[in-house]
Structure 1
Amino acid sequence: MSDFEHRSVETEARRTAPGRPWTPQEEPRQDALRRYLGAVAAAASRRSTGEEPAPASGTGSTEPPVTAAPEPPVRGSAVLHVRDVMRVPAASVPGDMPFLEVARTLAREQVGAVPVVDADDHVIGVVSESDLLAKAAVMAEPHRHGSVGRLWQHRLYEKGQGDTAATLMTFPPVTVHPAARVSDAAWTAAHARLKRLPVTDHRGRLVGVVSRRDLLRALIRDDAEIRAEAESLVGRHLPVPHTVEVSVENGTVTLTGRADRTPVPELLAAVRDIDVVADVVDAVEAI
């Protein structure tokens, strides 16, 4: 991550810091927040340099679903992908589902929004509590007087005329692919201010859902986890791995020791690719 990105992350973390002294529980929370923001900043940096394509755009929001939580991600790979943390199956509604049935579905699933799908399970939009509230507001009071009332009606009138999921939904939807990086999905969710993202295959068909809670749990990793993953990479890249030691402090990985320098640049690149690694210090001397 660049110095500018580090400063941006630190500034954001300070902005969220309380004015009173931190409790013993507050400092770890702030450290976790800095790491999460760092991962999002790294994903944004990759986008700006054109390393990875940006996802489709749209809007929507929800709370985490009540389906079983995904298994803890396997840490053998340096890069976590959406498929490692997404939840399946994902609740959805057909476009022709009536307004009241959509409301009942949200209540039953205990979520704030669900994807709307067509007959072939393609995601065509997202219908949320906000969309339903617009309908309910117009139903409760179809006419309001005065300039404020006219503005209110102008914004809600079209939305309030819908009677089905397809006519009430917000579109186009924001979706992510199962092969997308977790850090990129976090960037997408943060940029669009979404709590939940539908996961679609290359044909736009719904295959799962990933929530901000899932992304946070995957991205916020302690130094011990990062060290274990970095040591695994050392074992894979160096012919004599025991001559190089790994230490991690606040997400910064330091490699020390002596080794053949030939595979070291590739090793350093692999370690930098670990999600939420803040920096990598190369202190490996050539044999």
Structure 2
Amino acid sequence: MSDFEHSSAEKEIRRTMPGRPWTHQEELRQDALRRYLGAIAGAASARSAEESGRTHGGETSEPPPAMASPAPPTWRPAVLRVRDVMRAPAASVPGDAPFLDVAHTLAREQVSALPVVDSDDHVIGVVSESDLLAKAAVMAEPHRHGAVGRLWQHRLYDKSHGDTAATLMSFPPVTVHPEQRVADAAWTAAHGRLKNLPVTGHHGRLVGVVSRHDLLRALIRDDAEILAEVESLAGRHLLDPRAVEVTVENGVVTVAGRVDKALVPELLASVRDIHDVVGVVDDTEAD
């Protein structure tokens, strides 16, 4: 991750920083969010570099010399598509589903939103917990006084009179295609502040659903993958890679052991450049 990507991610974390100390679980969540933002930024940077490498004006670039030496192998993340991480089949509700049926389906499926479909399974909208809360709030307190109350009531007027999924839903729906890249779907979810995205195929028919959690897991490398790459680096940088013990937890790499301290800075620098490493701890001792 570049310095710019680190900075962008950290700014987002600071913006959401609470006034009280974080709990352990909150620290893990914020760390995951930083890795998520960095992964999206990294994917965007890779796409920009790819596009800038293409020629302008429709001309093709010259091929490399036939005898050119191959570039050394580097780790490249697989291009994941939405189809690889979506959940199928997806739960949905028909447009004529009553208010209570929608609420029961949300509770049963343990999701915060559901696609609303027509008789041909086309996605026509999305109904969420907030849509149901808007109706329930107006039902509980139909009259609010004052300018703020009138404005609040005006904004929720349509929701308060809806009795079916079609009259409660938000539309037009924001959807993604199964062939879209996970990074692009993540941008769509982040831009719209959406927790779930319906996945639509031919003619807008529902084929699955992908959540922010699904996208997060796809974009963040597993600690085991990072560990394998660090151990490979140790084999190239150290005379005896077995002299060090490497552990990885939530993207933080710890290197311990008795080694030649002159070799450590270069090794740690290489570790910091590994995709999705968020921190490096040097616990080595001079041999």
- The TM-score by the shorter chain falls in which range? 0.5 to 0.7
- In the alignment, which residue of structure 2 is the partner of 1:164? 164
TM-score with structure 1 setting the length: 0.62
* Unaligned ranges ≥5, structure 1: 52-75, 230-242, 244-248, 252-271, 279-287
For 1:19 and 1:162, locate their aligned partners in 2 and report how far apart those are by CA, in whole Å: 39
Q: How does 1:96-245 map to 2 (within 5 A)?
A: 96-222=96-222, 224-225=224-225
For 1:146 and 1:24, locate their aligned partners in 2 and report how far apart those are by CA, in whole Å: 43
Larger-gyration structure (1/2): 2
Q: Please state whether the residue corresponding to 1:180 is helix, strand or coil.
A: coil
Deviation at 1:29, TM superposition (A): 6.2
For 2:27 and 2:159, locate their aligned partners in 1 and report how far apart those are by CA, in whole Å: 44
Deviation at 1:206, TM superposition (A): 0.7
Matched, 1:93 2:86: no
TM-score with structure 2 setting the length: 0.62
For 1:24 and 1:154, locate their aligned partners in 2 and report how far apart those are by CA, in whole Å: 42
For 1:206 and 1:191, locate their aligned partners in 2 and report how far apart those are by CA, in whole Å: 22
For 1:128 and 1:170, locate their aligned partners in 2 and report how far apart those are by CA, in whole Å: 8
Deviation at 1:202, TM superposition (A): 3.8
Q: Please state whether the residue corresponding to 1:179 is helix, strand or coil.
A: coil
Q: Please state whether the residue corresponding to 1:5 is helix, strand or coil.
A: helix
Deviation at 1:177, TM superposition (A): 1.2
Q: Please list the CA deviations of residues 173-216 of structure 1 after superposition, one character each: whole Å capped at 9, or x if unmatched.
A: 11111112222222221221111111111421111111112122
Deviation at 1:171, TM superposition (A): 0.8
Q: Identity over the aligned pairs, expressed in percent?
A: 80
Amino acid at match of 1:186: A
Contact between 2:85 and 2:215, CA under 8 Å: does it hold in 1? yes
- In the alignment, which residue of structure 2 is the partner of 1:264? none
Amino acid at match of 2:143: H
For 2:18 and 2:163, locate their aligned partners in 1 and report how far apart those are by CA, in whole Å: 45
Say which structure, 1 or 2, has more relative contact order (CA 8 Å, 6+ apart): 1
- Alpha-carbon spacing, 1:112–1:34, altered in 2? closer, same or farther (3 Å): closer
Deviation at 1:48, TM superposition (A): 7.3
For 2:105 and 2:22, locate their aligned partners in 1 and report how far apart those are by CA, in whole Å: 41
Amino acid at match of 2:130: S
Contact between 1:82 and 1:210, CA under 8 Å: does it hold in 2? yes
For 1:18 and 1:81, locate their aligned partners in 2 and report how far apart those are by CA, in whole Å: 35
Q: How does 1:74-89 map to 2 (within 5 A)?
A: 78-89=78-89
The 10-residue stretch of structure 1 (123-132 or 216-225) with the greater mean CA deviation from structure 2: 216-225
Q: Please list the CA deviations of residues 236-287 of structure 1 after superposition, one character each: whole Å capped at 9, or x if unmatched.
A: xxxxxxx9xxxxx979xxxxxxxxxxxxxxxxxxxx9x98599xxxxxxxxx
Contact between 1:219 and 1:275, CA under 8 Å: does it hold in 2? no
* Unaligned ranges ≥5, structure 2: 52-75, 230-235, 237-247, 253-272, 279-287
For 1:126 and 1:27, locate their aligned partners in 2 and report how far apart those are by CA, in whole Å: 32
For 1:24 and 1:143, locate their aligned partners in 2 and report how far apart those are by CA, in whole Å: 43
Q: Please state whether the residue corresponding to 2:204 is helix, strand or coil.
A: coil
Q: How does 1:19-98 map to 2 (within 5 A)?
A: 32-45=32-45, 78-98=78-98
For 2:83 and 2:111, locate their aligned partners in 1 and report how far apart those are by CA, in whole Å: 21
